[in-house]
Amino acid sequence: MHIVIAHFGTHYVGNPGGVEKVVCQFSNEMIRRGHEVTILYRDYCEGNPYFPLDSRVIQHNILFQDGRKIISEKLPVRLRVLREFVRVFSKSGGQELNARFKGRQYGLQIQKYLAEHPADVVLSCSVPSTKYVIEDAHCMAPVIQMMHSHPRYLFPRMSKVEKEAIGKCRALQILLPSGLKISQEVFPNLFVKVIGNPVYPPIKKAHPGEKKEKHLISCVGSLTRNKQQHLLCKAFASLASDFPDWNVELWGYSGSYGRSIQSWVDKHSLSNRIFIKGQTTRVEDVYARSDVFCLPSRAEGWGLGLTEAMAAGVPAVGFKGCTGVEDLIQDGVTGRLAENGNVDSLAAVLRSLMKDASKRKIMGLQAAESMKWYAPEKIWNEWEALLQDVIAGKK
């Protein structure tokens, strides 16, 4: 089958994001299974993704033709100003303005490519992408909406035109069972399939119960206000004097939010205990050194770093009520869940693990075992079956 992946929601070239990682993994596996895969994307330049990609995967930037940029990836200035004004009163209204204009920009190019390279099935990895493919490119191939965010978090922010486009898909894939109820309520006539992300066996295993000169609480993921790494820093600040052999490392892209955390760390004289490390291509080394993994997000679609750390045998800590975190951490079994957004509660659950090596060891082993439910072969089999069923339904 010819699978076309529509990636028009975020930057693609060199982007170390979770969506891009899953897209590359999916593409590599479907190529290995004998299928043809094309990634259609839009970005300010042509190029390759951050993650390894099989050379047989076709990549095409719809904004370019013969190496020359023919369409802007940005709205005109007047529309950007209007969009931000509308967003003050309605986030979905601003999203709709964005979707409508960009659809006019991108639709013809998507339509042209699909006419010249027919797809058996289109896999859309963002809500805007689905709108561009179905409403603006008038795609006749069956479309599957691949959901990377949790429906509880994403659906209320969608515009009317985006909801209408998703309703015309042949299937909606979500990551976790906790998203089933709202998905079926919002799209009662759409087939919804739960397929998690693949969790690959660790390259290196962690040893969270061993005696060490220094112990580590790690957090891997872009430093953003949604991930709330500042709460981990504040919780650790209340523990640092009691646990002089423990440090914190924050790994991932660090922009203005990262700089604000660094200022707070410096102000509280913790720069020798809390380290903002930036991006790494050796994330397996971080997990292998970790004794606790903490992801203090307010909402996640699927904590990629969380599942990778758990697979390596690291007990995990997060917040109750956080989608994509409380679904994956079994409180008291594979890690601990603190009260949502509560620094004192977060400090308490961290303390319970920091002071008990045997608990860290047992929970780490149970965390690794729990991730086998998302074994790659199982996940890719489910995906291939869904693709084949959708195509068969079209015929």
Give residue-wise pLDDT tens across range 320-374: 999 999 999 999 999 999 999 999 999 999 999 999 999 999 999 999 999 999 9
pLDDT tens digits, one per residue of 249-290: 999 988 999 999 999 999 999 999 999 999 998 999 999 999
**What is the separation, in whole angstroms, between the first and last Cα of the chain?**
13
**pTM of the full predicted structure?**
0.87
pLDDT of amino acid 91 = 64
* Percent of the chain with pLDDT strictly greater than 90: 86
For the chain, which residues make up each domain, given as ranges? 2-197+375-394, 215-373
* Residue 93 predicted with pLDDT over 80: no
DSSP assignments along 114-157, one per residue: HHHS--SEEEE-SHHHHHIIIIIS---S-EEEE--S-HHHHGGG
- pLDDT class for 85, splitting at 50, 70, 90? low
DSSP assignments along 67-91, one per residue: TEE-S-SS--HHHHHHHHHHHHH-H
* Percent of the chain with pLDDT strictly greater than 70: 93
pLDDT tens digits, one per residue of 138-189: 999 999 999 999 999 899 888 889 999 999 999 999 999 999 999 999 999 9
Q: Compute the mean pLDDT over every residue in the chain, rounded to the nearest whole number.
A: 93
- Asked if 2-197+375-394 and 215-373 have one fold, the answer is yes
User: Could you tell me which of 267, 275, 266, 273 has the C-alpha nearest to residue 242?
Assistant: 273
Q: How many CA atoms lie within 13 A of 93 on its CB side?
A: 9
Cβ within 8 Å of residue 168, ≥6 positions away: 134, 143
pLDDT of amino acid 17 = 87
- pLDDT class for 385, splitting at 50, 70, 90? very high
Place of tokens 């043809």: 36
Average pLDDT for 105-110: 91
Look up residue 98 and give its two tokens.
Answer: 């964005």
pLDDT of amino acid 137 = 96
User: Right CATH number for 215-373 from 3.40.190.10, 3.90.1150.10, 3.40.50.2000, 3.30.230.70?
Assistant: 3.40.50.2000
CATH no. for 2-197+375-394: 3.40.50.2000
Average pLDDT for 21-36: 97
pLDDT of amino acid 84 = 72
Q: Parallel, antiparallel, or unpaired for β 64-65 and 68-69?
A: antiparallel
| Interatomic CA distance for residues 35 and 29, integer angstroms | 9
pLDDT tens digits, one per residue of 238-247: 999 999 999 9
Look up residue 244 and give its two tokens.
Answer: 């002089």
Average pLDDT for 98-122: 88
- pLDDT class for 114, splitting at 50, 70, 90? very high
User: Could you tell me which of 84, 8, 68 has the C-alpha nearest to residue 39?
Assistant: 8
